[in-house]
Amino acid sequence: MSLSVVILAAGKGTRMRSSLPKVLHPIADKAMVAHVIDAAKQLNAENIYVVYGFGGDVLKAELTNKNGDDELIFVEQKEQLGTGHAVDMASPNIKDNENVLVLYGDVPLTKVSTLQNLLAVKPDNGMGLLTVHLANPTGYGRIVREAGTVVGIIEQKDATPEQLKINEANTGILLANGGDLKRWLSNLSSDNAQGEYYLTDIIAACHAEGKTIATAHPESEVEVEGANNRVQLAALERAFQLREAETLMLAGASLRDPNRIDIRGRILIGQEVQIDINCIFEGEVFLASGVKVGANCILKDCSIGENTIIKPNTIIEGAVIGDNCSAGPFARIRPDSTMNNDSHVGNFVEMKKTTLGTGSKAGHLTYLGDAQIGQNVNIGAGTITCNYDGINKSKTIIDDNAFIGSNSSLVAPVFIGSTATVGAGSVISKDVEQEELAVARSKQRNVKGWQRPIKKS
């Protein structure tokens, strides 16, 4: 039987104190609702309906443009009349002969495996319900059972003192046949303390028809926790990061402190990877075996080769670093840059659209932009490639075994031949051929008796 998913995302989130729709507040740099959508996709849902209300234009633009979810079906809930009413907004699109899974846009950490368990337990003649046992279920609807069988859900405000002692709580996540769901929704009543149409009332309707209500449970409470304010949002962020840290460690990475790492994308690792504190990983990052990442580094959409050391406070984005390299501390490797095997950049070196050849080094205080650098080249401290004339960018080519003296400026376009040498302090604007020495600096004058300027009174 096919599956459709209805994601409830209409809440304003007043307690967030924000003009942004609640479900767009991020966990790991991705909107909460985007995490839920990703889970639905992994279940191979045929249709994904997003029920929106406040800030609908912003929500649709964010999900359609930033996340590329042009296959989503958006359904508007103009009036906020409860969860049952919200799901009912999608009813005209729901088929009788499909399963329908209801999820929540502000509950981002539900595991796909948990949802798969829910799909597995649902009987053909009944529904599946995700419940959780809580030490303190205050605020949650309670699962009412008779002789072990689920017969209904009672909301906190409508519960009797005896029912409030129940610690099995409703998560709101459920799975039902489309035809059954539409029938139950059409019969909902708003005769309750809140004057709303509760989705939870369909549980009693299911039981009244003699159908079975099967339950599944998450591995941990955090899977079904939502965020109604920024304190709860921060708690979910940390829970997510601890989960990602645990996954990394089980895959073989050593983390200096699992509480001080931020993963805002996906990391693939080899063996014996070491990561120090306060590192941020964004996009797609690959760390090969033996990589060491120092403290306070930011790595985004990059690949790091075997046994390479990324020293503290280094930023790498959109770059490829080879085997047995080192970068940093305080280096910045920008997009479209490549460091080939056994190359090295040191403190306060910046690369952009540059290839550094095998065995080449740029140790200190250097900018290399739009440069092609061969093998075993030494770039002296303070060297810059002057690649921009105010309108166009030009390329610097440095051939194998060249030596660039400290404090040199290479004015592109320019070519430095193999085994050529550039004297320290030179401004090179013409090509230097193979094995030549280029010195381009004015003759030194020593002025005797020169008076230093003095401060005017």
d(CA 352, CA 288): 23
Q: Is the pLDDT of residue 271 over 80?
A: yes
Domain ranges for the chain: 3-224, 230-438
367 in helix, strand or coil? strand
Task: Write down the H helix ranges in 43-99.
Answer: 56-61, 83-88
Give the whole-number percent of the chain exceeding pLDDT 90. Answer: 85
How confident is the model at residue 70, as a pLDDT?
A: 67
- Measured between alpha carbons, how far is residue 41 from residues 3, 69, 109, 223, 400 in Å? 11, 10, 15, 17, 50
Same fold, 3-224 and 230-438: no
Compute the mean pLDDT over every residue in the chain, rounded to the nearest whole number: 94
How confident is the model at residue 92, as a pLDDT?
A: 95
pLDDT in tens, 376-400: 999 999 999 999 999 999 999 999 9
Residue 350 banded pLDDT, cuts 50, 70, 90: very high
The CB density around residue 296, as the number of other CB atoms within 10 Å, is: 18
Write down the catalytic residue from 85, 133, 217, 364.
364
pTM: 0.90
How confident is the model at residue 65, as a pLDDT?
A: 74
Beta bridge partners of 18: none
Q: Is 344 a catalytic residue?
A: no
Question: Which of the two residues, 182 and 71, has the higher pLDDT score?
Answer: 182
Short-list 86, 83, 76, CA closest to 54 = 76
Residue 369 banded pLDDT, cuts 50, 70, 90: very high
CATH numeric code, 3-224: 3.90.550.10
Dihedral, CA atoms, 179, 182, 183, 186, nearest 10 degrees?
-170
pLDDT in tens, 175-199: 999 999 999 999 998 887 778 898 9
Give the whole-number percent of the chain exceeding pLDDT 70. Answer: 99
d(CA 77, CA 91): 12
Q: Which residue has the tokens 């599944």?
A: 216
Burial 254-272 (b: 16+ CB within 10 A, else e): ebeebebbbbbbebebbee
**Class at the top of the CATH hierarchy for domain 230-438:** mainly beta
How confident is the model at residue 259, as a pLDDT?
A: 96
Short-list 220, 225, 236, CA closest to 30 = 236
Residue 80 banded pLDDT, cuts 50, 70, 90: confident
How confident is the model at residue 67, as a pLDDT?
A: 56
Rounded to an integer, the average pLDDT of 26-48 is 96
Question: Could you tell me which residues come within 8 angstroms of residue 408 by beta carbon, excluding any fewer than 6 positions away?
Answer: 380, 382, 383, 384, 422, 423, 424, 425, 426, 427, 428
